[in-house]
A = this chain, B = another copy of it.
Amino acid sequence: MRTKILTTILLVAVGIARPQESSGQEDDGLWRKASTTHRQAEYPKIHPDGRVWFEFEAPHAESVQVRIAGTSYEMEKDDEGVWSAIVPYPGPGYRSYVMVVDSLVVQDPQSHMYFQNGWASVLEMPSPDEDFYEMKHVPHGDVREHWIYSDITESFRRMFVYTPPGYDDSAARYPVLYLQHGGGETEAEWTHAGRANFILDNLIAEGRVVPMIVVMNNGFVTPAEGRPQPPQNQGWIAFEEFLLDEVIPDIEANFRTIPDREHRAMAGLSMGSIQTFDIVLGNLDMFSYLGSFSPPFMAVGPTVEEALTMGPEVNDRLHAFWLSAGTEEQSIYDATTDVIERLTEVGIETDFYESPGTAHEWQTWRRSLYRFAPLLFQE
């Protein structure tokens, strides 16, 4: 894409109401490529004041919009067929966006991609008050792509395993957090979009968490033919057997873990939060920490009913029963606070974190991990 500076850009906000930018923007020399703009591209650029400058080449298009954070912005074409728009701050963290070219939704080839219900263009927006997930000048753990053969699926499956800084230099054994993605993601996104490894690196450097191994698997498990099958489209249910019978034994055979319930935690986001809720409460001999980030409880009632029957015994078994939701994911927020109320009524103690101003998105889950991890394995 070209690097020519446009001297006049007209921005028109459409869709959900947003403050309009004034026309007549000039390049003031402060625009910088986003960290998610790849090395052979120049745009999107971000201004220190939070605005984002998009460009998209489509000489034959009759209209192009950029759609980000629920709003579509009209772009304006220059003489060379390049469309531009400067849009207001779309909020912090990982922002999906698309270009809409004459009503066709397409990805922006200039930005990195991540997997969220398919490959999507992403813009990493700085957050004025947060840098806990940034790569800092501290020791960094490795993230391993690790393969396991599953007898359940009769196939090899990939997982990602974070080992903390110093893992290879020592003979120490470590506790383990099993960390799950949501229904739209893969096993790669907790370290990619979620930056789980940098969050842990930073917390370890500050001495705020116990160095731990973090294991991230794909939450969809389709048992091989001839084995019991989960209900249609609910491959996530078969994950429990895979985790307990295959993943944990593999991790404990191949990594230096402390293999007891006191040193095993599980957390997950969205679909993964429900898996965590089910698996931890159903296997208190295996886990002693539970983290449910953005749990869509409104869709999975029976699980909660079962938890309610357990009563205060859960308090003695769990060192953390921790839930979170973003203030902008209303139905999940309401369902979560409702479940917490019902758990409280039967004497089950929980902790709740609300992520201000964020929805069902990675910034909610980055913040949740950052607050959940320091609670783990503190003896």
Q: Which residues of A contact B (CB under 8 A)?
A: 38-41, 58, 60-61, 101-104, 106-107, 109-110, 112-113, 115, 117-119, 135, 137, 140, 142-147, 149, 156, 161, 168-169, 191, 197, 220, 254-255
Instruction: For A107, list chain B residues within 8 Å (CB).
Output: 106-107, 109, 119
- Write out the residue numbers on chain B whose beta carbons fall within 8 Å of the beta carbon of A156: 135, 137, 140
> Which one, B40, B145, B254, contacts A143 given CB within 8 A?
B145
* Structural contact, A142 and B140, CB atoms closer than 8 A: no
The reply to whether B143 and A104 form a contact with Cβ atoms under 8 Å apart is no
Q: Known: A38-B118, A115-B38, A168-B254. Is A60-B103 also a contact (CB below 8 A)?
A: yes
Stoichiometry (number of copies): 2
A345 to chain B, nearest CB (A): 39
Compute how far the CA of A40 lies from the CA of B156 in the bound complex, rounded to whole angstroms.
20
B144 in contact with A140 (CB, 8 Å)? no
- 25 A/B residue pairs, CB under 8 Å, sorted by A: A38-B115, A40-B118, A41-B118, A58-B104, A60-B103, A101-B101, A101-B106, A106-B106, A107-B109, A109-B118, A110-B118, A112-B119, A119-B119, A137-B149, A140-B156, A142-B144, A142-B145, A142-B146, A142-B161, A144-B145, A145-B145, A145-B191, A145-B197, A168-B254, A168-B255
Question: How distant is the Cα of A146 from the Cα of B107 in the complex, in angstroms?
Answer: 29
A217, chain B: closest CB distance, angstroms: 15
Query: Which chain B residues lie closer than 8 Å to A145 at the CB level?
Result: 142-145, 191, 197
Chain B residues positioned under 8 Å from A61 (CB to CB):
104
A104 to B101, Cβ gap below 8 A?
yes
Q: How far is the CA of A74 from the CA of B177 in the complex (A)?
A: 50
Chain B residues closer than 8 Å to A113, beta-carbon distance: 113, 119
Q: Is the pair B39, A220 in contact by a Cβ cutoff of 8 Å?
A: yes
Closest 4 CB pairs of A and B: A140-B147, A143-B145, A106-B106, A142-B144
- 16 more A-B contacts (CB under 8 A) besides A38-B119, A168-B255? A38-B115, A60-B102, A101-B101, A104-B104, A107-B107, A112-B119, A113-B119, A119-B119, A135-B147, A137-B149, A137-B156, A140-B147, A142-B144, A142-B145, A144-B145, A145-B145
Give the complex CA separation of A60 and B191 in angstroms. 38
Residues of B contacting A106 in the complex (Cβ-Cβ under 8 angstroms): 101, 104, 106-107
Min Cβ gap A257→B in Å is: 12
Q: Which residues of B contact A102 (CB under 8 A)?
A: 60, 102
Which residues in B have their C-beta under 8 angstroms from that of A135?
147, 156
CB distance from A54 to the nearest CB of B (A): 16
Q: Which residues does chain B contribute within 8 Å of A146, judged by CB atoms?
A: 142
